[in-house]
Each structure stands twice: as structure tokens, then as C-alpha cells.
Chain A
């Protein structure tokens, strides 16, 4: 059966006329090339993948900018976060800069050709001042700083607690795992709000209460992830190998397995931080969080809400900062998740 009449060859190759030396062997018999896959380390690959993701980079930029402003914003002008801005006007009378909407005198002059026609003519308030006369630029970034510190501190502690709990529970398995998981189940069935309200009985309102409330709730998710990873990795050859070589439990958990759980845990951290900021904001808004004159994103939104009919501009900066923080961390978390477990389609 005369079958398979292949068209002679791809066109390009057919046109190629071999020259002398073309038909010499290139390699010795021994070749061991694997140029595609050998050269990249795992984390380098993750990083490359992460930075190729536009959203992840946007998230990273947003968070970096907000963090820089949270660090340096409050010292960019001379007003402190609880200072009431006062000065003497031309009649040498003390004036409090209450409820001034955002203003940049030189920009105003540039645009309208006139100076501000009031007694604060040369004062700059990028975000304005509140009803007591405190500078909102300083307060916004100071509040962002407080919120970020609360979020980072609690989530890092939660990460340590949750990871240890999950790793130990998953590693030992059996009865220990069973008991520990029952406990997690019960802890997970208590609504966050109930925890907060019971805490309010025992603790004074303030930053401490917010931190403890977050500590009590956020570790559960981390422990679940750590445990799942542990169960997955535990049975792999390299762990068995190191066990047969006589490695102790501590060594196996912390040296062999822990490094492999870091990826998913960091992703979880990126999703937990916005949750923490969210919770802090809402507790402070409700009145069991940060106490005056301290401020956080939550109290700033509350202040803004209280003055919304008279000073509507006041609520905008903290809301935008809050939304951007959420957005940034969520983008970074999504990006990390994709970079750690790339789908075939994205490769």
C-alpha cells in the first residue's frame, strides 16, 4: 500500500543548499544539556513570574508608596498628629485653623491668579484640617501607620502561632491531630464579633483589644494551610530519607518541611493583612478600637462620618487609603498565589 506521501519538506529547508563542512558531527557522543529547566532556581522563577504579573506589580507599588508615606508623611510638615493648628493673624489674635478644606496656596494662585482671601493665606493643608483644627495630611498618614503596624504585628504573630500549630498537628497526626483539630473546629465556630464583645469585658478599649481580637481569630486560617502542606509533604521521599538517617522531629519539621510551606503561608499573610486592617477599621469605627487622640484609618473614617454634612472632604483621604491598602494587598496575594502555582496557560 503506497501510503504516506509526505510533501517533500518544509519550504525553507528545501531551499537551503548545503555547503562544505555542513555534514560534520557537532558533538562528541556525550552530551548532557538541559538548558531549559536546569538554570532557574524555584524562587527565582516565582519572582520572575510575580513581576510579569501587571496587577501584582501595581499592588506592590501601591503598598510601597503608602508605606513610605506612612513612615515619612507625618514629618513632611510641621504639624503633629494631635496638634491643633493655631497661629496669630494680622491683628495678633490667636486663630485656630478649624475645618479648612484642602488648599495649596501657590497652586491656587497659579490657577486663579489670586491669593486666598482669608487669614490663612500662606498655609498649605493638602488634605485640609478637621473640625478641631488638626492637619489631616499628618493624621491620615499617622493613622495609616497605626493601622499597618497593628496589621503587621498581629499577622506575623498569628503566622508563627498558626504555622506551629498546623505543622505540629499535621506532623504528629493520630490522636494529637484529632484533638487539635477538634479545638480548631470549635474556635472556628465562634463568630469574631462574639470574641470581641467578650474581650471588651476583660480589656480596656484600645489598640490592645484590637490586637488580641485579631490574634485570637486569624491564626486559624494559617494553621489550616500549614497542616495541609505538612500532610502533603510529610510522606515525600526526602522526608522519609532524612528520617531514616536519624533526624529528629524538630529537625524534620523546621528544617525540612517548614521551608516548603513558606510560599502558601506568605500568600495567606497577604490576604490576612487586609482582613486585619478591615477589622481594625471597623472596631475603631464602632468605638472599641483605637482611642482618641490616637488615630487609625478606622477612627479617621468615623471622624469624617461625624462631620460629613459640614466637612465632606474630611472622609475622603482615609477611605481612599483604606481601599488602596485592600487593593494592594489583594493584588499582591493574587500575584503570589499565581506565581507559586502557575497554571499551564500562564506559563
Chain B
């Protein structure tokens, strides 16, 4: 098992390293003038380049960048938040995005599972139909449209919730964005859970369990749920990443200073902020790969077919 874990972790790290290097190369080395916001003549630029080590070989620069980044030093923005270190701005943003995304993940997963299970248990009846319609709407309408709708009705026409995000009233002002973000997760999970459960219900091993005399709740708890829920981990992963890294549009609409909005600002501002693009790119990739790795490992723990073969590998 340990070998399996180490192999997975190693693979993920290598992938991440390759991606970060590519990003670094594309963002830092390729574009022309790295100081677009400062007026300097050619000699000044050359001096500054030498001073910053931009004339060193790419790998040396990369090594320098990585070692600093690992200590949390991503440098300063080239045009965004001038003079403030990127990691300061980014940690505030991460806090906001993660808290709002986290609520959305929890809400979406819990309600989604509940809906999906209920629908599968009442297959073909009203609740099943309701769940289907709900999940179709949730998948077909983007979360920011829900937010616009909620914002217009419950913050503008009935001014109950704040119209924009207000960090000092965090809980209250994260209701609308978290709710609208959770809907996609909710409907995806509801639909997936329902279909998985229906499939498991039709499987031979559940028939065998029924032919033993198992029925009702016992049958569902012992044989259906576990088998149906294992694959859900895989759909959940990309959803979690999307939510945690902040749905861009939702943050933009609701004025949340999260990483999504930061990214939008970095690429749509006056001049593109290369340093932010790089730092956020690394953050996004690391999160994405990290969660995928986690799912891989979790799957190994949950599914004996993988768990045992991993053990076999070790032996």
C-alpha cells in the first residue's frame, strides 16, 4: 500500500513540476518587456534585467523562482496591486474563495446525495421525476445565472441580503454566492447518485443478496450504498476544485475578492499581470493535481479491488 501511495504521489509531483515549468517558461521567458509599467530606456532595462537575473539560463531562473515560491514568495505584481506582495493578496483571496466554495461543496454534496438516494429509492415515482427535473435545470443553467437571479430578487427588489459581498459580514453575505455555486454540484451529484444506485439495484449481486433474504434498509445499507457511492468520489473531485478555486463569474458578479476574481483582474486589466498569472496558474494546477491525487488514494482505500491489488504490488 505504501509503495502504491508513494508511486501516486511521485507521479503527481512530476506532473506538477512539468506543468509549473511550462507555465514559467511561457509566462516569464517568452513575452518581451517584463516591466511594462515602468518607463525606462534600453540601457536601464538591460541593467534591471541583469540585476533581476533575467539573463541567466532558464533553468537557473526557474530554480530561483521555485525555491522562493516554496517559501511563499511569488514576488510582486507587475500591474495589479502595485507594491503589495502577491502572497499577501493571494492568501486573502484564497481565504474568501475557499470559505465560500467550501460551504458550496458541503451543501451541494449533502443535498445532492440526499436527493439522489431518495430518487433511486422511489424510482419511477414523483420524487424521482422531481429529482430529474431539478438536476436537469441545475446542469443546464450556469451558476452565475442563479446568482444574478437571486441577487436581483433577494438583494435588490427585496433588499434582504447584501447586494455585494462584504467581508465584515461574511456568513450573511456568503449565502447567495454559496447557494448558487452549490446548485451545479448538487444536481450533478443527485443525478449521478441516482443512476449509480439504480444500476447497483439491478446488479446480480444485489439480486443475490435479496435471494438470501435481505430486504429494505439492510439491503440498501449493506450492499447498495457502498457500491454506488465509491464512483461518486470521482465526479466530486473536479467539482470541488472548481468550487474551491472560486467560480470566476460568481466572484466577479458578487464582488468577492477571491482567486477567481484575481485571475480575471490579472488577465483583463490594463496590461496583463504576468506574475499573477504565473502564481495563480501554479496555485490552480497544484490544487487540481492535489485533489485528483487525493481522489486516487481515497478510491484505493474505499474500493477493495484497488486496495488489495495495491497490497499485492507491495508484496
Quick check: do A and B touch in the complex, using CB within 8 A?
A: yes
- B-binding residues in A (CB < 8 A): 185-186, 189-191, 193-194, 196-198, 200-202, 205, 274, 278, 281-282, 285-288, 301, 305, 308-309, 312, 315, 319, 322-323, 326-327, 330
What are 20 A-B interface contacts by the 8 Å CB criterion? Answer: A186-B15, A186-B19, A189-B285, A190-B285, A193-B245, A194-B281, A197-B263, A197-B281, A198-B277, A200-B272, A200-B277, A202-B26, A274-B140, A282-B248, A285-B249, A286-B249, A319-B145, A323-B145, A326-B141, A330-B136
The docked-state distance in angstroms from the alpha carbon of A222 to that of B141 is 24
The docked-state distance in angstroms from the alpha carbon of A286 to that of B31 is 23
B156 and A194 form a contact (CB under 8 A)? no
A286 and B19 form a contact (CB under 8 A)? no
The docked-state distance in angstroms from the alpha carbon of A303 to that of B55 is 45
A191 and B284 form a contact (CB under 8 A)? yes
**Closest residue of A by beta carbon distance from B241:** A191
The docked-state distance in angstroms from the alpha carbon of A146 to that of B92 is 38
- Of the candidates B18, B142, B144, B284, the one having the most CB atoms from chain A within 10 angstroms of its own CB is B142
Q: How large is the interface on B (under 10, 10 to 19, 20 to 34, 35 or more residues)?
A: 35 or more
**Bitwise interface map of B from 248 to 276 toward A, beta carbon under 8 Å scored 1, else 0:** 11001100000000011011100010100
A286 and B289 form a contact (CB under 8 A)? no
**Closest residue of B by beta carbon distance from A331:** B136
- List, in ascending order, chain B residues with CB within 8 A of A301's CB: 145, 148
A197 and B280 form a contact (CB under 8 A)? yes
The docked-state distance in angstroms from the alpha carbon of A198 to that of B282 is 12
**Closest residue of B by beta carbon distance from A196:** B267
**Closest residue of B by beta carbon distance from A309:** B156
B140 and A198 form a contact (CB under 8 A)? no
- List, in ascending order, chain A residues with CB within 8 A of B31's CB: 201-202
- List, in ascending order, chain A residues with CB within 8 A of B253's CB: 305
Contacts A190-B285, A201-B27, A201-B31 given; indicate if A319 touches B141 (C-beta within 8 A).
Answer: yes
A287 and B264 form a contact (CB under 8 A)? yes
B239 at interface (Cβ–Cβ under 8 A)?
no
B236 at interface (Cβ–Cβ under 8 A)?
no
- List, in ascending order, chain B residues with CB within 8 A of A305's CB: 148, 253
A282 and B249 form a contact (CB under 8 A)? yes
The docked-state distance in angstroms from the alpha carbon of A197 to that of B265 is 11
- List, in ascending order, chain A residues with CB within 8 A of B145's CB: 301, 319, 322-323
B267 and A190 form a contact (CB under 8 A)? no
B281 and A286 form a contact (CB under 8 A)? no
B1 at interface (Cβ–Cβ under 8 A)?
no
Which are the 6 A-B pairs with shortest beta-carbon distances? A326-B140, A200-B267, A287-B268, A194-B281, A191-B284, A327-B140
A315 and B140 form a contact (CB under 8 A)? no
A330 and B292 form a contact (CB under 8 A)? no
**Residue from the list A205, A282, A315 in contact with B142, Cβ < 8 A:** A282
- List, in ascending order, chain B residues with CB within 8 A of A202's CB: 26, 30-31
**Closest residue of B by beta carbon distance from A282:** B249
A194 and B23 form a contact (CB under 8 A)? yes
Give the distance to chain B from A322, nearest Cβ to Cβ, in Å.
Answer: 7
Considering the complex, which residues of chain B in the window 34-72 have a beta carbon less than 8 Å from any beta carbon of chain A? none
**Bitwise interface map of B from 3 to 41 toward A, beta carbon under 8 Å scored 1, else 0:** 000000000000110110001001100110000000000
